[in-house]
Amino acid sequence: MTQQISQSQDFTDKEILVINCGSSSVKFSLINPATGESELSGLAQCLLSSDANITIKYQGEKKTYNLAAPFDHQCALAILVSQLQQLGLVKSICAVGHRVVHGGEQYSEPTLITNEVEQAISQLAKLAPLHNPANLIGIKACQQAFSDLPQIAIFDTAFHQTMPEKAYIYGLPYSLYQEHGVRRYGFHGTSHYFVAKQAAKQLAKPLEQCNLISAHLGNGCSVTVIKDGKSVDTSLGMTPVEGVMMGTRSGDLDAGIIFHLVEQLGYSITDVDNLVNKKSGLLGVSGISNDCRALETAMLEDNNSQAKLALTVFCYRIAKSIASYSASLTSLDGLIFTGGIGENSSWVRQQIIQQLSLLNFALDPDKNLATRFGASGNISADNARDCWVIATNEEWVIAEQSAQLLTTLDK
Ligand code: ADP
């Protein structure tokens, strides 16, 4: 699926450098915002450790360099800049678009990064302590490396700012929301937005007329319900722990379990944090791996019962989450699977869909099996409700929205 997202502006010769900075990694991609094509992309990973390395892919050819420690985000970006210079690509870059995880309630639109915006992103780190500080490192490093280019923030939470109060207020004292911003924010917004837009094209109607449920299933997982093109509820919450079960995150828990762990089993709060974020989910239940592929192999080839249990719980909880969103809609055009698992695991898709027959979902087994490894398409059986696999492309959304912001700044 490579339709143009934006056809109105002429960015034919222009590129946006898209940066997604994690605590020990930098993902980058030079993208033409009109076509979504990427001439150069890559990943620096294991930063600040002795395994640090950077892989750069240019015109289909991949090169990996191992790097001497201590190798940080600035060093990774310095290598990227020197590669861009050597290849004569710097002059085509018109802005740097940054993925920023948490924009709180302030940011529902792409935003030019000023000192004030940087401070806000820094303050919002209290809601996303693992992500926003890393995003800021990327922003600061790019400000140094590309001092004359506009830096633009695209927030993961932005798409969900259209949720009504009934979806984002927790059953806690209201003052916690008013005074401390304790509410559902949701994440994976750029991915849900991108796949919803692609589904609207499949339906041949404007996104604003589409009612969809989108399941982004990767290491992190979330299910979002989209009414008239807008997010009206989503499974991830104030932090990315809530909702369905994930690779290493537990998803929804009885909060009483936390008191039990602390009061009866001697866990510290740091232990609990570590447990629900890093040791639970597919990894915790299986005791084998957080990786869906490894679990499918263990289940199907070695008949491993823990792998089967982990995948079964994973699929049931996603099916339940999808079904729960019938409370948010009066009609439903279809369901979208995306993310590494959603795009590739025909077994997971089949398990989820067979628990949703009440909503008239059913898969065509051949189409389900054939639609993997980057392929997109409709996998529903004849006469069943539409179900699509759509390869997500968050980088393209970041590039497109950065370009759109640039045109408004020019006016
Ligand atoms: P992230 O949330 O880190 O971006 P991804 O969207 O890349 O994660 O998804 C990673 C998940 O996708 C892993 O659980 C991985 O096992 C799963 N995955 C990737 N390819 C396949 C495949 N062919 N079959 C099943 N699962 C797959």
Range 107-131 average pLDDT: 94
pLDDT averaged over the chain?
A: 94
What is the reported pLDDT for 411? 66
DSSP string, 183-251: S---S-HHHHHHHHHHHHHHHTS-GGG--EEEEEESSSEEEEEEETTEEEEES--SSTTSSS--SS---
Q: For residue range 184-215, what is the model confidence (pLDDT) as tens digits?
A: 999 999 999 999 999 999 999 999 999 999 99
Q: For ligand 1, is residue 292 a contact (CB within 6 Å)?
A: yes
Q: Please tell me the distance between residue 35's alpha carbon and the centre of ligand 1 in angstroms.
A: 25
Confidence of residue 9 (pLDDT cuts 50, 70, 90): low
pLDDT surpassing 90 at residue 57: yes
Name the residue at shortest CA distance from atom 3 of ligand 1: 219
Report DSSP letters for 260-323, one per residue.
HHHHTT---HHHHHHHHHHS-HHHHHHSS-S-HHHHHHHHHHH--HHHHHHHHHHHHHHHHHHH
Structural domains for the chain = 15-155 (3.30.420.40), 205-394 (3.30.420.40)
Q: Tell me, what's the pLDDT at 54? A: 93
Ligand 1 neighbourhood includes 43 CB (under 6 angstroms): no
Distance CA(73)–CA(78), nearest Å, equals 9
> In this predicted model, what pLDDT tens digit does every residue of 348-366 receive, in sequence order?
999 999 999 999 999 999 9
pLDDT of residue 128: 87
Q: Which of 49-53, 232-236, 258-262, 281-285 has the lowest mean pLDDT?
A: 49-53
Whether the ω angle into residue 240 lies within 30 degrees of 0, i.e. cis, is no
24-38 confidence digits (pLDDT tens): 889 999 999 999 999
| Residue to probe by mutation, ligand 1, list 99, 214, 249, 293, most atoms within 8 Å of CB | 293
Give the per-residue pLDDT at 396: 96
Residues designated as active site: 156
Residue 51's pLDDT band, with cuts at 50, 70 and 90, is confident
- pLDDT tens profile 271-281: 999 999 999 99
Q: How far is the CA of 289 from the centre of ligand 1 (A)?
A: 12
Q: Mean pLDDT, to the nearest integer, of 122-130?
A: 90
**What is the C-alpha to C-alpha distance for residues 310 and 292, in angstroms, rounded to an integer?**
10
**pLDDT of 110 higher than 80:** yes
Q: Which of 130, 192, 216, 219 to mutate to test the pocket of ligand 1 (most atoms within 8 A of CB)?
A: 219
Q: How confident is the model at residue 10 (pLDDT cuts 50, 70, 90)?
A: low
pLDDT band at 7 (very low <50, low <70, confident <90, very high): very low
Distance between CA atoms of residues 236 and 176, nearest Å: 18
pLDDT of 315 > 80? The answer is: yes
